[in-house]
């Protein structure tokens, strides 16, 4: 009986060591999931760890369709189509006060990062915006 109480007390008093029951961060997760695995498992482990820790992933602007409009709160950017395994979180955009047709790179302002929530972003009304281009997007695995 004394042994059972002693061992129980010892286990309760011993703090749970980080990583024993879960991973602390993306790198720790990758090391744990890849330990003893063939390199062919890397893609699966990477996806699971990025999903677990909410790591944002680069998404090419060619993989995303979006629309630009106006709302009472400002300019609205809505994501129309994107890779289904992601939730779009950010987009890097170029804006211009000129019409889109025939624009050159130097006609655009410096890039601006736009944050998305549920596939939509509202940015404060920027004066004279007539054209917007997406450079890239970032998203998290669902």
Whole-number Å distance between alpha carbons of 104 and 86: 31
Report the number of distinct structural domains present in the chain: 2
pTM: 0.73
Whole-number Å distance between alpha carbons of 131 and 75: 11
Asked if residue 2 is part of any domain, the answer here is: no
Q: What is the pLDDT of residue 1?
A: 57
Domain end marker among 55, 78, 104: 55
Q: Are residues 39 and 65 in the same domain?
A: no
Q: What is the pLDDT of residue 75?
A: 84
Q: Are residues 67 and 37 in the same domain?
A: no
pLDDT beneath 70, residues of the chain = 1-21, 125-127
Asked if residue 43 is part of any domain, the answer here is: yes
Q: Which among 74, 73, 115 is positioned nearest to 93, based on CA atoms?
A: 115
Q: Are residues 63 and 81 in the same domain?
A: yes
Whole-number Å distance between alpha carbons of 113 and 92: 5
Q: Are residues 128 and 62 in the same domain?
A: yes
Q: Which domain holds residue 72?
A: 57-141
- Residue 49 CA, chain-centre distance (Å), reads 13
For residue 119, give Cα distances in angstroms to 18, 89, 98. Answer: 35, 8, 26
Asked if residue 11 is part of any domain, the answer here is: no
Asked if residue 99 is part of any domain, the answer here is: yes
Main-chain dihedrals φ then ψ at residue 102, nearest 5 degrees: 80, 10
Q: Are residues 81 and 99 in the same domain?
A: yes
């Amino acid at each position: 009986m004394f042994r059972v109480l002693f061992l129980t007390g010892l286990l309760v008093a011993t703090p749970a060591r980080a990583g024993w029951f879960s991973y602390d961060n993306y790198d720790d997760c990758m090391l744990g999931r890849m330990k003893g695995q063939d390199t062919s498992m890397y893609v699966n482990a990477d996806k699971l760890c990025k999903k677990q820790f909410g790591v944002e992933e680069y998404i090419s602007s060619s993989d995303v369709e979006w629309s630009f409009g106006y709302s009472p709160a400002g300019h609205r950017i809505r994501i129309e189509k994107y890779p289904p395994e992601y939730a779009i979180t950010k987009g890097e955009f170029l804006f211009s006060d000129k019409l889109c047709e025939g624009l050159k790179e130097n006609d655009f302002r410096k890039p601006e990062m736009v944050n998305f929530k549920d596939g939509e972003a509202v940015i404060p009304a920027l004066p004279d915006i007539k054209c917007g281009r997406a450079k890239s997007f970032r998203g998290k695995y669902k």
